[in-house]
Amino acid sequence: MDPRGSRSPALRRNACQYTRVWIPDPDEVWRSAELTKDYKEGDKSLQLRLEDETIQEYPIDVQSNQLPFLRNPDILVGENDLTALSYLHEPAVLHNLKVRFLESNHIYTYCGIVLVAINPYEQLPIYGQDVIYAYSGQNMGDMDPHIFAVAEEAYKQMARDEKNQSIIVSGESGAGKTVSAKYAMRYFATVGGSASDTNIEEKVLASSPIMEAIGNAKTTRNDNSSRFGKYIQIGFDKRYHIIGANMRTYLLEKSRVVFQADDERNYHIFYQLCAAAGLPEFKELALTCAEDFFYASQGGDTSIEGVDDAEDFEKTRHAFTLLGVRESHQINIFKIIASILHLGNVEIQAERDGDSCSISVSRTRAPR
């Protein structure tokens, strides 16, 4: 399929003056321009006026079909569904998302049944209980685009068709996959709450702090990057109440435990445990600050702006308790994690004879 095939074929033969197009730009990726002269088949360039009134001659290669993309009419710009655009191509998609985000503060846009989300990198007041109930029972196109609308559509189709439903959350690092999945789970936990007093929905949500603590880390692109893939399966009974859930994980980035690049951190749990080292129950773990451990300090700064590791550790412990993990078992888990930190400060060196070695233990170690 020609990625430029959605352009008007008129531009391939002739285009009138004032026709608006998109041209590539090294800084802005795409720039809007307007033809100042009619284009006829066989012309080797386009005469364009940019939005800053700059006149530019744009060379074209007719044989390779490298003609500019047509720009959508202004009346369509800002549509909440990309499929409503006359021309659906890269510059049109990016411009529409940009307008909705910067001018209307909308982070969600539909593309048919797909929801496109832009990470605002800040907390927005659009995920409260009142918003959940507002989307409950509504059709997908009746409300503004939202992760709750996608979750409601899956929930409604499950109830109507009595068939399993799947929501795939994908995107590059830092796009907001982890948070989007949490909001979808929160929606299901609210509208499909358990019929008994066992608070199954709370236990389903409680898995998130644990998985994030042990499987998420700071990277150069994302302060809370999931370093593993996960498949979450939520079960419902015949009355569509949550009865349980299970999670499968795969492709965990195990190498991060022993090595972190510059400006990155190990998994959050190591720093959470160090932040709680002063608690009486952790005295025997012999932990200190994260800077004292090689496996926690290779990336440089061990803290994350706006993140309280000690507070997050309390959330992790509370989640363990909510899921029924006894205090003694939790301590054993934390002992294993602490032992990994201590092991990182052990240096083994071979002796000259090659048949023996020496072991030295230091509180801190310089990066290798």
**How do residues 201-245 score in pLDDT, each as one tens digit?**
788 888 899 999 999 999 998 999 999 988 999 999 999 999 888
Q: Is 278 annotated as a binding residue?
A: no
- Token look-up 């773990």 returns 285
Check the annotation: does 83 bind a ligand: no
| Mean pLDDT, rounded, for 126-145 | 95
Q: What is the mean pLDDT of residues 33-46?
A: 85
How do residues 144-169 score in pLDDT, each as one tens digit? 999 999 999 999 999 999 999 999 99
- The per-residue pLDDT for 345 is 95
356-361 long-range Cβ contacts below 8 angstroms, 24+ apart: none
Q: What number does CATH give the domain 265-350? A: 1.10.10.820
Q: Within the chain, which residue ranges are assigned CATH 1.10.10.820? A: 265-350
pLDDT at 44: 83
Mean pLDDT of 73-101: 95
366 among the known binding-site residues?
no
| Poorest-pLDDT segment among 41-55, 157-171, 315-329 | 41-55
pLDDT, residue 201, reads 78
> 340 falls in which pLDDT band (50, 70, 90)?
very high
Asked whether residue 11 carries a pLDDT value surpassing 60, the answer given is no
DSSP string, 286-332: T---GGG-HHHHTTS----TT--HHHHHHHHHHHHHHTT--HHHHHH
Whole-number pLDDT of residue 7: 41
Is 190 annotated as a binding-site member?
no
Give 337's pLDDT tier (boundaries 50, 70, 90): very high
Specify the pLDDT at position 193. 78
Closest CA to 201 of 230, 160, 240, 162: 240
194 is in an annotated binding site: no
Q: Where in the chain is the domain with CATH 2.30.30?
A: 8-70
Domain boundaries 8-70, corresponding CATH code: 2.30.30
Task: Tell whether the model's pLDDT for residue 351 goes beyond 80.
Answer: no
Query: Under CATH, which number does the domain 74-256 receive?
Result: 3.40.850.10
Q: Is the pLDDT of residue 2 over 70?
A: no
Per the prediction, the chain carries an average pLDDT of: 89
Residue 213 vs residue 9, higher pLDDT: 213
Name which of 33-42, 147-156, 277-286 the model is least confident about.
33-42
| 5 assigned ligand-binding residue | no
Q: Is 109 annotated as a binding residue?
A: no
The predicted pLDDT at position 206 comes to 87
Question: Which sign, positive or negative, has the C-alpha torsion 209, 210, 212, 217?
Answer: positive
